[in-house]
Amino acid sequence: MTAMGILFCAMSAVSATPNQVVLTDVEHVTVYYESGRFGGWPANHGIWIWDNEILVGYGRGYYKDLGSRHHIDREKPEEHWLARSLDGGSTWRLEHPAEKGYLIPEGEALHGIETPGLAIKPTTACPGGINFVHPQFAMTVRMNSANSGISRFYYSYDKGKNWEGPFGLPNFDAPGTATRTDYIVEDEDSCMVFGTAAKQDAKEGRVYCIRTDDGGKSWQFVSYIGEEMKQDGYFGIMPSSVRLGKKELLVTQRRRMGPDDRHIAQHRSLDNGKTWTEEPNPVASVGAGNPPAMIKLQDGRLCLTYGYRAEPYSMCAKLSDDGGKTWGPELVLRNDGTTTDMGYPRTVQRPDGKVVTVYYFADGKRGPERFIAATIWTPPAK
C-alpha cells in the first residue's frame, strides 16, 4: 500500500482540570486509514525503534458498527500489518508480512475464517539460539484468544522485514494465555516476557512474568503480578514493564474492579520479578478501560501513555521523575475522539528527545472508521 503521513496542525489550548495540562506542541500523523476498514490495537502487536526508524504492528480488518464493542466485522478476516517510518514518525509506509508468509493470524485471531492464498504456519517449539541483543532484533508476541488459547512469538534480525516463528509459549497450568508484546531483554540468551493468563475460571485475566535463559528454547514461570481477582468481570491484563535497576522492575497493567472502576495499576519488584508489591494507581480512571504503555526516557524519567475511554475521548500521558513512586499531572495529547473504541498505545522516544505515541483512534473527520494515528510530542521539562 502507499505511504501514509498526513500531518494535522498542533492543538490549540483547551480547558483542562486542575490536574491536567493540555500540550500544544504536538503533531498528529495518520499512520493508516482506509475507507471501510478497521485499524486497531498497536498495544497488542508492539513497537520498535532503531535511531529514527520506527516499526509498529496493528490489526487490519473491516469496519462494522457494533454499538459499544470494537467496530470490526467479526465475520471477515483480520490481518496483522506493520507500518514503518524512516523519519521518526512523520511519514509511514505500510507492510503486509503475510505476503511473505509471516505473522499470519491463526485460531480465533482470524475468527475461524480462511484467508485465500495465505498458508498459516504451524506453531512449533523454539529450537533456541535466539540472540536477544542483536542490533536489529524485534520480537512480537501474539495470542489466539482473549482468555482460553495459547500464546506464540516471532522474532526478527532485520528490523521486522523477515520473521522466524511462530513458536509456542507454555500456559504453565493456566486455562489459557493471552500474551501481547511486552518484554525486557537481559542479555544475549535471556529475556523476560510479561503477559496475561486466564484466571482459574477460564475468564480474563491475570498478569504474569516468564523468562528464558537459553535463547528461547525453554521458558520458566517467574511469578504472577498481583492477586487473582475471583469476582466475575474483575481482571488485570495487558502489562507494560520497565527495568529500573539490576533487580528492580516496575509493571503497570490495565485493571478492572467493577463496572465503574477501570484504572491502571502498578506493581514493583526488587528481586527481579520473584515477588511484587502493589503501589498506588498511577491513573485512577481510564474510562471504559485501556492499557498502559510505559517507557524510560533518556533523562531518566518514566513516561506512561494511555487512552481515556470516556468523554472527552483522549490520549494522555504522565511523567515520573522518581521511578514511578509519584506521577505528575495528566498530559493531554489530544481530546478530539468520538468513541470509546480507541487507544491501545505503544510509545518510543526518538534520538532528538521527542516522543512518538502510536494508537488507534476515530475523530469523525473522514468517517466512522478506526485508524492508526501517531502523536509526536515533547515531554515538558523537569
Contact 62, 75 (CB under 8 A): no
Say what percent of the chain tops pLDDT 70. Answer: 91
Contact 374, 28 (CB under 8 A): yes
* 168 and 135 within one domain: yes
Say what percent of the chain tops pLDDT 90. Answer: 83
Residue 17 CA from chain centroid, whole number:
27
**pLDDT-wise least confident of 25-34, 68-77, 231-240, 290-299:** 68-77
**E strands in 173-212:** 183-185, 191-198, 204-212
Give the list of residues 6+ apart from residue 292 with CB closer than 8 angstroms, or none. Answer: 238, 240, 252, 253, 254, 264, 282, 283, 304, 305, 306
The residue-averaged pLDDT of 290-302 equals 98
* 267 and 130 within one domain: yes
* 133 and 96 within one domain: no
Burial 247-274 (b: 16+ CB within 10 A, else e): eebbbbbbbbeeeeebbbbbbbbeebbe
* 251 and 193 within one domain: yes
* 179 and 248 within one domain: yes
* 238 and 135 within one domain: yes
Angle at 48 between CA 46 and CA 51, to 5 degrees: 165
What pLDDT score was predicted for residue 24?
A: 94
- Residue 296 CB neighbours (<10 A): 17
What pLDDT score was predicted for residue 117?
A: 59
- Per-residue confidence band for 114, with pLDDT thresholds at 50, 70 and 90: low
Burial class (CB in 10 A: 0-12, 13-18, 19+), 370: buried
**pLDDT-wise least confident of 10-14, 67-71, 81-85, 104-108:** 10-14
Q: Could you report the per-residue pLDDT of 199-236, keeping only the tens digit for each?
A: 999 998 999 999 999 999 999 999 999 999 999 999 99
- Per-residue confidence band for 136, with pLDDT thresholds at 50, 70 and 90: very high
* Total count of domains within the chain: 2
CA distance 294 to 253: 10
Q: Which grid cell is 42?
A: 498497536
* 139 and 168 within one domain: yes
This prediction's pTM: 0.94
* Residue 349 structural domain: 1-121+340-382
What pLDDT score was predicted for residue 69?
A: 77
The residue-averaged pLDDT of 293-306 equals 98
CATH classification of the domain holding 150: 2.120.10.10
Q: Average pLDDT, whole number, for the chain?
A: 92
